[in-house]
Chain A
């Protein structure tokens, strides 16, 4: 069943549709949201509520229409939606000066209306990039994650891997090249031209 067919199923059999979405994308979405929260320096306490809400909101016909209008791929759409909601919750917590608003208020602050208005044009690119990253060796992925995700300098990378700066520069270069090769194989070379 394609994502577009799944979006149609959600309109006819909500429970079967949501079951399929959870089983197909639930583990990936949960991992992404937890990782996103941790890398933004937040705890994962709010993640499960937003995760649940993001999945259930696929039952709002307007949301499915929005997903379809952005290409019809469920995982990028739902990730994008949930991330915006997490940001809303964190903003609300910051405004209130509280780390843990009571759940109903937190969700009310997060879920007042329909999809976030601003479109993230990079979302599909990120999806493709995520798939390409998964195909790299664990070592190559770790180097890129430390360099771009954690902003390690080459000197710090060299120290982390107990090797020379030259060696990590080459390893990082090779990892990027491999990544670009994988992306080119996916036919998305044009995507990277700025």
Chain B
């Protein structure tokens, strides 16, 4: 194809594709819907991966959640794609993943992303030590988040998530040995 033909071909494709279109304002309701969905989507994806692995290993969700003992309801929430993965201890995660033959390395990035998306930090208050809400119970963390007295810090959240996933991997390896 000659240079001229190639430009003509690409121009036809460019106009068909709309790359010449001028930006339009994104409707506010649509923007908000997308951002809100971004807050829950990682958990949904993780839940989906876990359910697939559980099904492949022959586990029903109820039976698998029951393996979490007193934390069965938290496990059910996480398996349903809701809730903070840190509601379950790393050791318990290791056990659940071992039951369904799922190597944490396979879901590492998504796992970290989901954990990280829930990690929030308390706003510093005068005369009070800067604390993290990751030390709070699930309910308290939800309340803190709802109260708005929290801040996001992606770098720190990433480090917390990295450490948590490393703990889960270690727990899983111990059981897999």
Chain A residues with CB under 8 Å of chain B are 9-19, 22, 26-28, 30-36, 39-40, 48, 51-52, 55-56, 59-61, 79, 83, 122, 125-127, 129-130, 133-134, 141, 144-145, 148-150, 176, 179-180, 192-194
- Besides A32-B19, A35-B20, A148-B8, 20 more A-B contacts (Cβ < 8 Å) are A12-B158, A13-B116, A14-B41, A14-B117, A15-B117, A18-B38, A27-B25, A27-B26, A33-B18, A34-B18, A48-B30, A51-B30, A59-B41, A61-B109, A122-B10, A144-B15, A149-B11, A149-B16, A192-B3, A194-B6
Going nearest first, the 10 A-B pairs with the smallest beta carbon separation are: A149-B15, A35-B18, A130-B19, A194-B1, A27-B23, A61-B109, A18-B38, A31-B21, A13-B154, A148-B11
Q: Contact partner of A122 among B13, B30, B39, B116, CB < 8 A?
A: B13
Q: Is B112 an interface residue (CB 8 A)?
A: yes
Taken residue by residue from 16 to 41, chain B's Cβ proximity to chain A (1 for < 8 Å, 0 otherwise) reads as 11111111111000110111011101
Q: Is B56 an interface residue (CB 8 A)?
A: no
Q: Contact partner of B16 among A40, A61, A127, CB < 8 A?
A: A40
In the bound complex, CA of A52 to CA of B2 (Å):
39
Contact status B19-A126, CB under 8 Å: yes
Residues in B neighbouring A59, C-beta threshold 8 A: 38, 41-42, 45, 113
Q: Is B126 an interface residue (CB 8 A)?
A: no
Contact status B23-A28, CB under 8 Å: yes
Task: Indicate whether A22 sits within 8 Å of B31 (C-beta atoms), given known contacts A12-B157, A13-B117, A27-B24.
Answer: yes
Residues in B neighbouring A16, C-beta threshold 8 A: 152, 154
Interface size on B, residues (CB 8 A): 47
In the bound complex, CA of A177 to CA of B34 (Å):
41
Chain B residues with CB under 8 Å of chain A are 1-3, 5-8, 10-26, 30-31, 33-35, 37-39, 41-42, 45, 109-110, 112-113, 116-117, 152, 154-155, 157-158, 161
Residues in A neighbouring B17, C-beta threshold 8 A: 32, 36, 79, 83, 126
Contact status B14-A129, CB under 8 Å: yes
Residues in B neighbouring A34, C-beta threshold 8 A: 18, 21, 24
Contact status B20-A141, CB under 8 Å: yes
Q: Contact partner of B38 among A15, A127, A141, A145, CB < 8 A?
A: A15
Contact status B11-A144, CB under 8 Å: yes
Contact status A194-B154, CB under 8 Å: no
Contact status B6-A193, CB under 8 Å: yes
